[in-house]
């Protein structure tokens, strides 16, 4: 409800103050007395388009102030139009945008005229107008519908959440099947990566290992006299004199034991040397297998043991 309007330097009006009372208020007068100008001023305060033509001739600006009540709260609305075209909107002494003013004033008053919009034509008001008809009867039904719609919306959200959870579970199950198949197909065991690393080291250095073992075998067994020959001859010499002293007998027994150990050692060296062979295929297979195990370790824990624990989990 509009309770007061103040108009200054607006069109032909110098200054005027109007108080509105509850109920019907009528402004009358002869043609040209300024009735329409007062309505123009009210429309301006309510947020209509400003025009510098509204500024009274010879004045710098026109000012329209309006006091209105909305939802139990008083508002002081001010519009200022300068002759230079500057336009200021204020609500309770705070500058606001014209869009804000329009939105606020739509709830305060309607200006009914031949070319003015009416609240009946505003789609935002249609439901409110329908609901206000037989409000006592409609209001409980409206609340019931609102409650049912709220329950429906909540149930719909819960259903959507369940369906999404189910889809997530299916995707997770498929991924876990893939992980299980990947680990299972590797058929690995704890310590395999260490064994393969040693094997790779041997394959990559097989030529040097073979050559060094061959040199050792030659020094110990093949040269003349060899280290084994020298040790055997020494044992024989001690055997010729071991009857003369228990201490010499002990020397002979210890040297004989060393002779047989060296003989076994040379046999092992020869066996290991002969088992070495360089195979590009074996080297490639070993590298590929190590890459497979390294990939599993990166994905599932860092060690073969942790990979297998993850597989069981």
Quick one: pLDDT at residue 115? Answer: 52
Task: Domains for the chain: give ranges and CATH numbers.
Answer: 2-118 (3.40.50.300), 192-312 (no CATH)
Quick one: pLDDT at residue 119? Answer: 66
Quick one: pLDDT at residue 178? Answer: 94
Q: Which of 169, 4, 154, 178 is nearest to 74 (CA)?
A: 4
- pLDDT tens for 137-184 read 888 888 999 999 999 999 999 999 998 899 899 999 999 999 999 999
| Whole-number Å distance between alpha carbons of 44 and 5 | 11
Across 225-244, average pLDDT = 85
- pLDDT tens for 180-233 read 999 999 999 999 999 999 888 888 887 788 788 888 888 877 777 788 888 888
Quick one: pLDDT at residue 194? Answer: 92
Residue 114 has pLDDT above 80, yes or no: no
Paired tokens of 281: 């295929």
Q: Is 248 exposed, middle or buried (0-12, 13-18, 19+ CB in 10 A)?
A: middle
The rounded mean pLDDT for the chain is 87
Across 244-254, average pLDDT = 88
**Three-state DSSP state, 72:** coil
| Whole-number Å distance between alpha carbons of 57 and 278 | 110
Across 87-103, average pLDDT = 90
Residue 276 has pLDDT above 80, yes or no: no
Q: Is 235 exposed, middle or buried (0-12, 13-18, 19+ CB in 10 A)?
A: buried
User: Please, which pLDDT band fits residue 290 given cuts at 50, 70 and 90?
Assistant: very high
- pLDDT tens for 21-75 read 988 999 888 887 788 888 888 888 888 888 888 899 888 899 999 999 888 888 9
Q: Under 8 Å CB-to-CB from 74, ≥6 apart: which residues?
A: 67, 68
Across 87-91, average pLDDT = 91
């Amino acid at each position: 409800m509009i309770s007061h309007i103040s108009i200054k330097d607006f069109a032909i009006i110098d200054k005027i103050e109007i108080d509105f009372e509850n109920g019907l208020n009528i402004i009358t007068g002869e043609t040209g007395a300024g009735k329409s100008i007062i309505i123009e001023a009210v429309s301006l305060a309510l947020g209509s388009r400003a025009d510098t033509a509204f500024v009274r001739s010879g004045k710098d600006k026109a000012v329209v102030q309006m006091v209105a009540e909305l939802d139990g709260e008083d508002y002081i609305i001010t519009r200022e139009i300068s002759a230079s075209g500057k336009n200021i909107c204020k609500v309770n002494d705070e500058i606001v945008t014209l869009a804000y003013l329009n939105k606020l004033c739509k709830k305060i008053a309607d200006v009914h005229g031949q070319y003015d919009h009416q609240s009946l034509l505003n789609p935002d008001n249609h439901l409110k107008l329908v609901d206000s008809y037989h409000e006592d009867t409609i209001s409980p039904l409206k609340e019931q519908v609102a409650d049912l719609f709220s329950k429906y919306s909540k149930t719909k959200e819960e259903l959507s959440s369940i369906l999404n959870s189910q889809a997530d579970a299916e995707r997770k199950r498929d991924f876990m099947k893939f992980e299980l198949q990947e680990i299972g197909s590797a058929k690995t065991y704890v310590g395999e990566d260490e064994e393969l690393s040693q094997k790779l080291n041997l394959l990559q250095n097989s030529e040097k290992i073979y050559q060094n073992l061959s040199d050792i075998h030659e020094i110990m067994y093949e040269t003349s006299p060899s280290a084994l020959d020298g040790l055997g001859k020494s044992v024989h010499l001690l055997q010729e004199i071991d009857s003369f002293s228990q201490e010499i007998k002990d020397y002979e027994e210890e040297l004989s034991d060393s002779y047989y150990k060296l003989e076994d050692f040379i046999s092992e060296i020869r066996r290991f040397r002969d088992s070495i062979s360089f195979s590009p295929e074996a080297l490639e297979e070993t590298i590929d297998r190590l890459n497979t195990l390294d990939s599993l370790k990166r994905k599932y824990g860092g060690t073969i043991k942790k990979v297998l624990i993850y597989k069981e989990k």
